[in-house]
Amino acid sequence: MHKIKVMICGKEYPMLTSEKPDYVYGLARTLEAKINESMDKKKVSQYNAAVMAALSVLDDLQKANTQIQEISDQMKLYVDEAGQARIERDTAMKEIRLLRARIAQLESAERQKKLKSQNPNGQS
């Protein structure tokens, strides 16, 4: 665990975190930038800007989670389709082997038939 202090909008916040300090400092800078942006654009108090920044971040998180779920669902569909395609390929390969064997039988029978017709008495 890391004991760190982050500064957001001039106020210090002591924290205990398992994350790397540089990561948390980066989060604090990003949050401060969002708060300052809201304060500059909308001329609201720091508190209201913090609430708006929090809502914005939660909105981003919710949209990202929705996208992750959609991608996960799509991946499951692709895996299912790939499995079905594999089954169909295996079935087709089995059918091809059976057809090749049947063709070989028919060709052999045809050769024997030709040989018999060329040599009706079984003489060479």
List for the chain the helix, strand, coil content (%; round to 5): 75, 10, 10
Q: Which residue, chain included where needed, has tokens 């028919």?
A: 106
Least confident of 14-23, 35-44, 79-88, 92-101: 35-44
pTM assigned to the model: 0.61
Give bridge partners of residue 8 from the DSSP assignment: 11
pLDDT for res 41? 85
Calpha distance 50→36 (Å, rounded): 9
For a pLDDT cut of 70, what percent of the chain falls above it?
A: 96
pLDDT for res 43? 85
Average pLDDT (81-103) is: 98
